[in-house]
Chain A
Amino acid sequence: MIKYIAQLGAGGISFCQRLGVSGIFLFRVICRRPRVLRLTPLLCEQIYVVGVLSLLIVVISALFIGMVLGLQGYNVLEKFGSTQELGQLVALSVTRELGPVITALLFAGRAGSALTAEIGLMQTTEQIASMEMMAVDPLWRIIAPRFWAGFISLPVLTVIFMLVSVWGSYLIGVDWLGIDPGQFLSNMQAAVDFRIDILNGVIKSIVFGFVIIWIAVYHGYYTVPTAEGIGRATTKTVVYASLAVLGLDFILTAVMLGGW
């Protein structure tokens, strides 16, 4: 019994220690004198790698999700004779929940895991140590551009996801199932509030982006420098980031619905 309690205590201490290390790591990445001119080209390169290359999976997923929502929504709304509300249904679902959450999960799987693997491999092949020996801080040169690129990219990808999803449901609802386009768009416009729906969705994506990229770069930087270590770090990134997104989504939704 004592042994289990000791193991539990050791686990708790280890968790707190890792949390502290990751906090200091984050502080050192964020709180530094900005070198805008030097950072800009590195940031643009990473926005391409992290953001632009994630665009395809986000757009295709958004299109299919929008189309499925259109079909499912139409079938339910038809029972109540209110198929003209399809635009409203899809737009509210996508802007409030599906857009930020699904984009974040896709982003964690595509960009987060790639970042962890890339940084982990740099650690394993001593590229980070060699940079340290050349008196170049890897947190500035490697981590910071990737961190800010992820932070900037996810909200943009989320907005793109929202737009494409709505377009997908429009294709199904209007072009295929024959809903009046005027009704589809005007009902949607009347129901969606910029601050409560769209802005809240974007705020969620900013928080998700921050957390996903923090988890990804941290696990890459502190990976055990072996092939198995990189595999574990990549898995941890996807699992922890996905769980963090879902947990934070609940907290943020509760805060946002609770009177903000």
Chain B
Amino acid sequence: MAQEESFIEISHLKFCREERVIFDDINLTIPKGKVIAIMGPSGSGKTTLLQLLSAQLRPTAGSVLIDGISMHDLSRKELYRARRNMGMLFQNGALFTSLSVFENVAFALREHTKLSEEMIRDTVLMQLEAVGLRGARNLMPSQLSGGMARRVALARALVLNPQLMLYDEPFTGQDPITMGVLVHLIKRLNDILGLTSIIVSHDVIETAAIADVVYIVANGRIAGRGTPEQMFASESPWIKQFVHGLPDGIIPFHYPAATYQEDLEL
């Protein structure tokens, strides 16, 4: 089998928040054109990993190379140039509340291009059509449901035709219909536009349905890597507990504490 072209390389990544080690010696390779899922329980640092990837945070040690560029060695100007090739869908959409849906999607075009108003209008409407919200272009973000806000945010993230899309918990808090729409959209857009997509999520079923490769993060390290099928078949107690949603196991249900009897003074 031919060697897949590597698009992102994370080498010996270490990240600490004050005294707490969030990641310790993480190594990841992400091929081009694939949908990659990074999964793990809440608080395992998945969003932090996305922030490190996009250089919103600086690692304590190690490096992140995207398309051969070391993200954390760039000047502010170079970093902004590199980010024009990235789109990010934030957990809550992060739409600009003072701008309408149309203006939210048009924002990056107005800032980075000198397109005519007519071209901007056509481009924005095409993006909104792709996420099924062309009719909602005059609404304000406060008038949108959570799922609609996320779809608008997706259109906004894609408007500059990025090579890399980062999704931060795209399915959290969504009803089954919206979740289905989002799952379908992410996969379809990735295939049609030839993107590389990284989805950070703990929604195992939905994410596994569209991911080519799954990484499982636990205790500051990569606990497992493989196709969704390999993950579901894994005998590793940690992966097994996570992907099958078992309430107790190697990850304890109870937070570390003194014994129950001691606490109740029995």
A residues near B (Cβ < 8 Å) are: 122, 125-127, 129-137, 141
Interface of A is mostly: helix
Q: Does B96 contact A (CB under 8 A)?
A: yes
Docked-complex contact B83 and A135, CB < 8 angstroms: yes
CA of A132 to CA of B91 in the docked complex: distance in angstroms? 15
| Contact residues on B (Cβ < 8 Å of other chain), bracket | 20 to 34
Task: Report B-chain residues with C-beta under 8 Å of the C-beta of A131.
Answer: 96
Docked-complex contact B80 and A129, CB < 8 angstroms: no
Task: Report B-chain residues with C-beta under 8 Å of the C-beta of A135.
Answer: 80-81, 83-84, 108, 111-112
In the complex, number of A-B residue pairs with CB atoms less than 8 Å apart: 52
Task: Report B-chain residues with C-beta under 8 Å of the C-beta of A129.
Answer: 56, 90, 94
A133 touches which of B76, B81, B83 (Cβ 8 Å): B83
B88 touches which of A125, A130, A136, A137 (Cβ 8 Å): A130
Docked-complex contact B86 and A133, CB < 8 angstroms: yes
Task: Report B-chain residues with C-beta under 8 Å of the C-beta of A136.
Answer: 80, 107-108, 111-112
CA of A141 to CA of B112 in the docked complex: distance in angstroms? 13
B residues near A (Cβ < 8 Å) are: 54, 56, 76, 80-81, 83-84, 86-88, 90-92, 94-97, 107-108, 111-112, 153, 156-157, 160
B52 to chain A, nearest CB (A): 13
Docked-complex contact B88 and A133, CB < 8 angstroms: yes
Task: Report B-chain residues with C-beta under 8 Å of the C-beta of A133.
Answer: 54, 56, 83, 86-88, 157
CA of A127 to CA of B56 in the docked complex: distance in angstroms? 13
A6 to chain B, nearest CB (A): 18
Docked-complex contact A134 and B56, CB < 8 angstroms: no
Docked-complex contact B97 and A127, CB < 8 angstroms: yes
A98 to chain B, nearest CB (A): 35
Docked-complex contact B81 and A130, CB < 8 angstroms: no
Nearest residue, chain B, Cβ from A38 = B111
Docked-complex contact B92 and A126, CB < 8 angstroms: yes
B142 to chain A, nearest CB (A): 12
Docked-complex contact B80 and A130, CB < 8 angstroms: no
CA of A134 to CA of B160 in the docked complex: distance in angstroms? 9
Q: When A134-B111, A136-B111 are in contact, do A125 and B54 touch as well, CB less than 8 Å?
A: no
CA of A38 to CA of B56 in the docked complex: distance in angstroms? 26
Q: When A134-B83, A134-B107, A135-B80 are in contact, do A126 and B56 touch as well, CB less than 8 Å?
A: no
Nearest residue, chain B, Cβ from A134 = B108
Task: Report B-chain residues with C-beta under 8 Å of the C-beta of A137.
Answer: 76, 80
Task: Report B-chain residues with C-beta under 8 Å of the C-beta of A127.
Answer: 94-97
Task: Report A-chain residues with C-beta under 8 Å of the C-beta of B88.
Answer: 130, 133
CA of A72 to CA of B137 in the docked complex: distance in angstroms? 59
A125 touches which of B84, B87, B94, B108 (Cβ 8 Å): B94
